[in-house]
Structure 1
Amino acid sequence: MTRSWPRASAVLPITPLLRYAVARHAVPPGTARRTGCDACGAPVGPHRPWPALGPTARCGGCGARVGAPPASVELAALAALAALAALLLSRPPAVELVTAAWWLAFALPLLFIDVAVHRLPDRLTLPAAAGTWLLLGLAAVTGAGAAPWLRAIGAGLGLALFFAATTVLLGTRGFGIGDAKLALSAGALLGWYGWSVPVLGLLLALTLSGVVALALLVSRRARLSSHLPFGPYLVVGTLGALLLVW
């Protein structure tokens, strides 16, 4: 157990950047991105990460909470590190590992942002998709071949079109366009490993969201008309599917 602490602590230097992304982008649509503490205006950023961007998530000026709940981002980052460690056991090509790490670097902040303000900003979803597609293309060029890459692109586009279609057909009762943009990268990452893997990831996400929605309804913490963010379930479903195929 003591030997695992140095490995686990290796993820801590990047968590202030993840917290910064959450704090900066977890704002309502049409609102300027956050640059400081909402309570006292003290600046928050990578040049001044502590304590606002640390595990306590408290402003150094007034003590108000900043961004995601205390220790939540750190725990999520450790879970992501464990998922990457599981991938290492299968000895994948280095490019596949880098691709998964790239996607997780954007998916983790998006998870917390969607929970907080029910939106998935383009400034995170689009770089996640572009980087995932390009890195998988590099994997194809360096040995995997074109077939997995074309399948990944098809899966990403197909999953995104599915989410976008529900938005067009069902309006607010369907998934959001932000979910479709996140699916561009999630679907591609899953599609690299086979056509059935994106389906598995979607089923896991839908099942988890349904269980949580039912629990909220039974506990009267939500109503049938309530809008629940789907991005977190898509992230968790993608990770779950990857762990099952790795």
Structure 2
Amino acid sequence: MMKSLSVLGILRLVTVAPVLRFAVARYGVPPGSPTRSGCAGCGAPIGPATLGPAGRCPACRGRLGAPPAAVELALVAALAVLVLVDGTLAERAAVAWWLAWAVPLVLVDLAVRRLPDRLTLPAAAGTVLLLGVAAATGVGSGPWLRALAAGAGLALAFAATTLLFGRRGFGLGDAKLALSVGALLGWYGWPTLVVGLVLTSVLSGVVGLALLLARRVRWSSHLPFGPFLVLGTAAALLLAA
């Protein structure tokens, strides 16, 4: 069973990687800028079929999108999480859907410190829908209602920090990512949600302190929170497996 899942995962990796690589290039632009449709250097159009793992424009060879092989490495990590997480077919489909959107979200947030609606909202909608299928075909409505409450509650809590603290709080992109994060973790139970948030906070704190000690950031710097939220969520899912 594990071998068949691995083979299937590799096939999906090959087919999904170009699409996600294009998503990173397209949406990895500063806030307020239009989405990218071509190379900033030569203007050559870009698409899933034209961007290779090297992360360079096919025409002028200028750097474009994610760093070389970053998408592929992130997908390998996502595949490992999917293989190790237990659950029904619908539950695993929900995890797979969320991971597929999480990969470009992490890379875009690292590059330009933003989490585009075109990535966060489909991630949330598909995750909730697939968890609803899992509820209807198996465990019943209880976990799904808990997932809805967790997703909405976490998103509102994140958004409230933006209203209260401005730039010192979480961004609205983080709040929209929290919709899918809260729903996915809430499906597995309130303790899993708490563990995910604790791991996220610890990871962000440790990395922030390390960068501060290395003088790579200042006390006033604001690190992108999306990658830590994704890593904390993935770790909590593995612990819940």
> What's the TM-score bracket when you normalise by the shorter of the two chains?
over 0.9
Q: Deviations over 1:107-139 (max 9, x none)?
A: 110001111111111111111111111111111
> 1:59 pairs with 50, 57, 60, which one?
57
Identity rate of aligned residues, in percent?
62
**Two-structure CA RMSD over aligned residues (Å):** 1.6
> 1:17 pairs with 16, 19, 23, which one?
19
Give 1:186's aligned residue. 181
> 2:40 pairs with 13, 38, 41, which one?
38
- 2: distance between equivalents of 1:13 and 1:130? 22
Give 2:154's aligned residue. 159
1:217 aligns with 2:219: no
Listed as ranges, the gaps of 5+ residues in structure 2 are none
Give 1:74's aligned residue. 72
- 1: distance between equivalents of 2:151 and 2:191? 13
Q: Alignment partner of 2:235: what SS?
A: helix
- TM-aligned CA deviation for residue 184 of structure 1: 0.3
The AA in structure 1 aligned to 2:81 is: A
Give 1:245's aligned residue. 240
- 1: distance between equivalents of 2:141 and 2:62? 51
The AA in structure 2 aligned to 1:21 is: A
- TM-aligned CA deviation for residue 13 of structure 1: 2.1
Give 1:26's aligned residue. 28
- TM-aligned CA deviation for residue 240 of structure 1: 0.4
> 1:228 pairs with 213, 223, 231, which one?
223
Greater mean deviation of Cα atoms: 165-174 or 15-24:
165-174
- 2: distance between equivalents of 1:128 and 1:32? 21
Q: Deviations over 1:68-121 (max 9, x none)?
A: 10011100000101111112xx3x211001101111111110001111111111
- 2: distance between equivalents of 1:158 and 1:196? 15
- TM-aligned CA deviation for residue 170 of structure 1: 1.2
Number of aligned residue pairs: give it. 237
- 2: distance between equivalents of 1:187 and 1:40? 42
Q: How does 1:116-155 map to 2 (within 5 A)?
A: 116-155=111-150
Q: Which runs of 4+ in 1 moved over 3 A?
A: 3-9
- TM-aligned CA deviation for residue 65 of structure 1: 1.1
- TM-aligned CA deviation for residue 140 of structure 1: 1.1
